[in-house]
Amino acid sequence: MGNLLKVLTCTDLEQGPNFFLDFENAQPTESEKEIYNQVNVVLKDAEGILEDLQSYRGAGHEIREAIQHPADEKLQEKAWGAVVPLVGKLKKFYEFSQRLEAALRGLLGALTSTPYSPTQHLEREQALAKQFAEILHFTLRFDELKVELSIGPDC
C-alpha cells in the first residue's frame, strides 16, 4: 500500500508517474466488478452515516442534570431516554466502520496486487481508484465532523 500512496502523493511530475484518472467516466471492467460491487454497497451507506453524525447531539446536559440530582427519578429517566438512542447511533457508526474496513482491505488488495505496479493499477482500474478516493473523502469528512462535535458545547 505504501507504493500506492507514494504514487498518489508524487509532486515531482518530471520524475514521477504521469497518468490520467477519469473519475467522471470511470466504469468497472469485468475484472473489477466483484470488488467494485462489494465496495459500492458500503459506499452507498456513507452519506447516511455522515448525515447521522452531523445531526448527532450529545446528552451531556441530561447526564449532568441526572448526576447532580441522583434522587430525581424524572431526571434519571430523561437522561436514560437521551442516552439510549445515542448508543444505538454509536453502534451503527462502529458497525459501519467494520464494513468499511473490510471493503477497504479488499479494495487495496485489488489495487496493490501483482503483476501490476501501483501506477498500472491506477491506469487500468480507474473505477476502483475512484472508490478509493471516495473512501478517503468520506473518512476525512467523518473525522472533520467528529472534531466539530468534540469542540461543541454539549459534549
Does residue 28 sit within a domain? Answer: no
Residues near 19 by beta carbon (within 8 Å), at least 6 away in sequence: 119, 122, 123
- Note the pLDDT tens digit of each residue in 15-24: 555 666 777 8
Does residue 133 sit within a domain? Answer: yes
- Please give the mean pLDDT across all residues of the chain: 85
Does residue 15 sit within a domain? Answer: no
User: Which domain, by its residues, includes 131?
Assistant: 33-54+83-150
Q: What is the DSSP string of 9-49?
A: T---TTTS------TTT----TTTHHHHHHHHHHHHHHHHH
The reported pLDDT for the residue numbered 155 is 47
> Higher pLDDT residue, 1 or 107?
107
Does residue 113 sit within a domain? Answer: yes
- Note the pLDDT tens digit of each residue in 24-76: 888 888 988 999 999 999 999 999 999 999 988 889 999 999 999 999 999 99
Q: What pTM, to 2 d.p., does this model score?
A: 0.76
- Contact between residue 111 and residue 118 where contact means Cβ atoms under 8 Å apart: yes
Does residue 122 sit within a domain? Answer: yes
Helix (H) or strand (E) holding 70: none
For 115-126, what is the mean pLDDT? Answer: 81
The reported pLDDT for the residue numbered 1 is 45
Question: What's the one-letter identity of residue 94?
Answer: Y
Does residue 67 sit within a domain? Answer: no
Does residue 17 sit within a domain? Answer: no
Give the chain's domain count. Answer: 1
Does residue 12 sit within a domain? Answer: no
Q: Using CA atoms, how far apart are residues 136 and 142, in angstroms rounded to an integer?
A: 10
